[in-house]
Amino acid sequence: MTTIKGVLFDFSGTLLRIEPAESWLRAALTACGVAMDDAEITRRATELERAGALPGGALPAELPAELVAQWELRDCDARHHRAVYTGLARRVPLPRPELYDALYERHRTAEAWRPYPDAAEVLAELRRRGVRVGVLSNIGWDLRPVLRAHGLERYVDGCVLSFEQGVQKPDPRLFALACRELGLAPSAVLMVGDDRRADGGATAIGCGFLPVDPLPVDRRPDGLRPVLDLVG
């Protein structure tokens, strides 16, 4: 069996998790100076979640026909990503039009993301062992400032982001590029992620794959620690 010398981590649902829809909406309301009573906030947050408007949150219960084509390629282009998620949010009536862009901007902030409790510990231990670490994400914006703000970037050797490459997981080309960024053969790399289809696509080029559950952070205290049992 080939020794694992590098680990690629997915971002959302793997290393960090997006905040709940209600706190996301509250932050956007505050940013825009809009008042809304608590019952209305709860109701609209539930509707936004059902619409799939929060990136990193629940998938849309129903995808509007006009967004189907963009949805399939949403992580390949920053403009598509914004258009899709603001389009989904606009399915929910909100009191001011600027709130839709404010919601999108909020989800890109470090405050909107919480690292899993064992993320820093596992990344630090991999670094101590001399294991190369990368972040490989289907995403429409630059997540590096979020990693930096949460003290995780120091442990990461490189990030491969779908919107920068114009291709998204499970396309083998993205995994191959990420392995090259680590300077390792795919057989020496483990992919860790919460999406068995997208992240599990790493096995097509010979990487290992470890699935994790994208639970709320307080319900997954040690989901990343099995990585340490698989690497030298």
The share of the chain scoring above pLDDT 70, in percent, equals 99
pTM of the model: 0.96
Predicted pLDDT at 2: 77
Six token digits for residue 67: 């967004």
102-140 tens-digit pLDDT = 999 999 999 999 999 999 999 999 999 999 999 999 999
Query: 6, exposed or middle or buried, with CB in 10 Å at 0-12, 13-18, 19+?
Result: buried
Residues 6 or more apart whose Cβ sits within 8 Å of residue 39: none
Q: What is the pLDDT of residues 47-92, one digit of tens each?
A: 999 999 999 999 999 999 999 989 999 999 999 999 999 999 999 9
Residue 2 phi, psi (nearest 5) = -70, 135
Domains delineated in the chain: 6-17+114-230 (3.40.50.1000), 18-112 (no CATH)
pLDDT reported for residue 7? 98
